[in-house]
């Protein structure tokens, strides 16, 4: 894997402001524990939808939460990276670095990012453990056929036309987690049910 590079200027200012805001909140309530909750799964599985819904739910309870959207980070922090395995790994490492910084400052970092390779995800977990930062992995295990039916971004149709050759789960591999902390399938499960399951997981793991 390549080394993590410092964030670019557009992202750096936002990250610094978020960290300072959450640092001040942590001083007021030092008992609050930060953590990273990584939602892995195929494009269209429901990762971002669940993460945003969970964030709204937790913020309503006064919880400090940040959602690290993969597409937004690719535009800023990972601008210039492609979809080779090396570039995907670098992208995941950068997202994980920001998540660890937030979590260390008492923030719950929700990360709806595909992270297709098992070894990369294992490295992210190990880095969190080495830093003493709680880390949870949720596999949003919606089948590829259902993801293709939804095709929110038009990627599966583009892959079928041969316009996209690196779509995870179609042209590029996706290695499902063997032992995630929780597994969700949004084929029939409502978003609210997924949110409830994740809130229960956080409570069971002592993350508040």
48 is in an annotated binding site: yes
Distance CA 208, CA 199 (A): 10
78 is in an annotated binding site: no
Distance CA 91, CA 25 (A): 29
41 is in an annotated binding site: yes
70 is in an annotated binding site: no
- E strand map for 98-181: 108-112, 135-140
Indicate the SS3 state at residue 40: strand
205 is in an annotated binding site: no
- E strand map for 60-173: 65-67, 108-112, 135-140
47 is in an annotated binding site: yes
43 is in an annotated binding site: yes
162 is in an annotated binding site: no
Is residue 124 within 8 A of residue 94, CB to CB? The reply is: no
List binding-site positions for ATP. 41-48
List binding-site positions. 41-48
């Amino acid at each position: 894997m390549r080394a993590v590079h410092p964030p670019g200027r557009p992202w750096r200012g936002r990250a610094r402001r978020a960290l300072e805001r959450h640092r001040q909140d942590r001083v007021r309530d030092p008992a609050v524990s930060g953590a990273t909750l990584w939602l892995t799964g195929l494009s269209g599985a429901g990762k971002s939808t669940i993460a945003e819904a969970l964030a709204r739910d937790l913020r309503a309870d006064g919880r400090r939460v940040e959602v690290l959207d993969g597409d937004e980070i690719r535009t800023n922090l990972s601008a210039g990276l492609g979809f080779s395995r090396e570039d995907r790994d670098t992208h995941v490492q950068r997202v994980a670095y920001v998540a660890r910084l937030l979590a260390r400052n008492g923030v719950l970092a929700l990360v709806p990012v595909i992270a297709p390779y098992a070894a990369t995800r294992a490295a992210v977990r190990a880095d969190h453990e080495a830093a003493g930062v709680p880390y949870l992995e949720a596999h949003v295990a919606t089948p590829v056929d259902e993801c293709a039916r939804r095709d929110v971004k038009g990627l599966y149709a583009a892959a079928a036309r041969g316009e996209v050759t690196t779509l995870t789960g179609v042209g590029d591999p996706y290695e499902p987690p063997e032992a995630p902390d929780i597994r969700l399938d949004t084929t029939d499960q409502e978003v609210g049910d997924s949110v409830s399951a994740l809130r229960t997981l956080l409570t069971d793991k002592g993350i508040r």
